[in-house]
Structure formats: structure tokens, C-alpha cells
Structure 1
Amino acid sequence: MNWNITAGRPVYVQLIEQLELALVAGEFPPGSRIPPVRELAADAGVNPNTMQRALQELEGRGLLQAQRTAGRTVTADDAALRALRRRRAKALAEEFLHQMQALGMEESEIEALLRESAPPTQEKE
């Protein structure tokens, strides 16, 4: 996993966001085991206590499950993962629209820009 921790925001919040992205992107498939806290912390270059805090938050959100002897696993609840993907996508869309409006763009201009920027769709035969 590629970690991107920057200054200015709480580290555990950034860890939560990046772990959520990994979950919705399928980097950790539903039901799969998450690497141990110390391993994740070493990979991210953070204190294990900080990583533990982030993982506990994801457990509290129902995205991870603690298994007594097997560590943590990703929830097998597809609905929870779909809801997470939708929330993340909505937040990105809102931020995009906010930035475009800050540039003075109207809704029609934003829509045209998106259409121009989208890759061509492949028609099924």
C-alpha cells in the first residue's frame, strides 16, 4: 500500500482515509485479513498506537472486524462497502463542484468540461 502522510492534518485521520480508499478499491477484498498493526505502522512510517487508533475507528464503522486469534478482517458486508464508496465519491464530487464554482464556472460549463474530459466509451458488439 502506498501511504501519503502530510503535515497539517491529524495522522490518524489521514490513515483512516487511505485505508478506506484501499478497502473500496479492493486492495483488501471483503473477508480478507488485514496485515498486523505493527506491519502497517512500519509501512506507513507511523507509531503503532496511531495505526491502532485508525483501525479501531474502521472497526467502529463496521468496515473491519476483529477476530480473536486471526487479527482483523475486512467486512464481508457488501452494502457497507458500497455505502463507503458512495460517501467517498459524493465527497469528491462536492469538492470538485466547489472548486469549479470558485473558478466562476457555471453548471453548464462544468457539465461540458466533464463530457470533454471523459474517456470515450467503448460500444459493446
Structure 2
Amino acid sequence: MVRFRISTESPVPPSAQLYEQLSFAIASRQLPPGARLPSVRQLSMQTGLHRNTISKVYNQLVGVGMVQARAGSGVYVLDNENATKVSTIQNLVRRTLETALAQGY
């Protein structure tokens, strides 16, 4: 199990520390594709961070296509192929919305 530690003395915000640690664990395959991330509650107890902070970090990871949240099941690391598909779809949706907004819709 990967351990995450937050330094209260660091000038880096706790959420940024957690994001970087999770990103590194995923990139280095300490958390391999398909691995379930700790629950928000578990990570809150481990790091001392508020659950909302952890949820925010998980949402950021979802946003960049590193993980996928499955309702009622948890948050899972995506493999590179799925991450690419998710990222492509997110970019398409983002561009479509930006175009619609620019046209006054």
C-alpha cells in the first residue's frame, strides 16, 4: 500500500502535495492501471486532510484523465489507452462547449 504524507511546514498547499504524490504514484506504477485509490475516508485518516480536499484532488485527477470515478465503487487508475480515450473525449466536449458559448448559445 502506498503511503501519502502531507507536510504542514511546506509552503506547497496540502492539496497540491497530495495531487503530486498521487500523480507520481500513478506515473511510477506504484498504483498500476486498474488499481483502486484509497477511499476519501481512508485517505483523510492517513493524511489528516479534510474529505473535501481529497475529493477536490480526486476530481482533478479525473479531469486530467489519470483516474476514473465509478459511482458506488471508488476511484480507479486508468491505463494509458483508456486515459487517452477519456482525454480525447474531454477535449472534444470542451471545444464544442467553447464554440457554442462563443456563438452565443
TM-score range, shorter chain: 0.5 to 0.7
- Measure how far apart 1:78 and its partner are: 5.2
1:42 paired to 2:45: yes
Runs of 4+ aligned residues of structure 1 deviating over 3 Å after TM superposition are 78-81
1:62 paired to 2:65: yes
1:22 corresponds to = 25
Amino acid in structure 2 at the alignment position of 1:3? R
In the alignment, the residues of structure 1 paired with residue 35 and residue 73 of structure 2 have an alpha-carbon distance, to the nearest angstrom, of 11
RMSD value, Cα: 2.0
Report the TM-score, using the length of structure 1 for normalisation.
Answer: 0.58
In the alignment, the residues of structure 2 paired with residue 23 and residue 31 of structure 1 have an alpha-carbon distance, to the nearest angstrom, of 10
Amino acid in structure 2 at the alignment position of 1:37? V
Q: Which runs of 5+ in 2 are unaligned?
A: 85-105
1:76 paired to 2:63: no
In the alignment, the residues of structure 1 paired with residue 39 and residue 82 of structure 2 have an alpha-carbon distance, to the nearest angstrom, of 25
Aligned length: 81
The Cα offsets for residues 25-65 of structure 1, whole Å up to 9 and x where unpaired, read as 22211011111111012111111111111111011000010
1:8 paired to 2:20: no
In the alignment, the residues of structure 1 paired with residue 4 and residue 74 of structure 2 have an alpha-carbon distance, to the nearest angstrom, of 21
- Measure how far apart 1:2 and its partner are: 3.6
2:94 corresponds to = none
In the alignment, the residues of structure 2 paired with residue 67 and residue 2 of structure 1 have an alpha-carbon distance, to the nearest angstrom, of 22
Residue 75 of structure 2 aligns to a residue whose secondary structure is strand
Identity of aligned residues (%): 32
Residue 8 of structure 1 aligns to a residue whose secondary structure is coil
Pick the structure with greater CA Rg. Answer: 1
In the alignment, the residues of structure 2 paired with residue 75 and residue 8 of structure 1 have an alpha-carbon distance, to the nearest angstrom, of 30
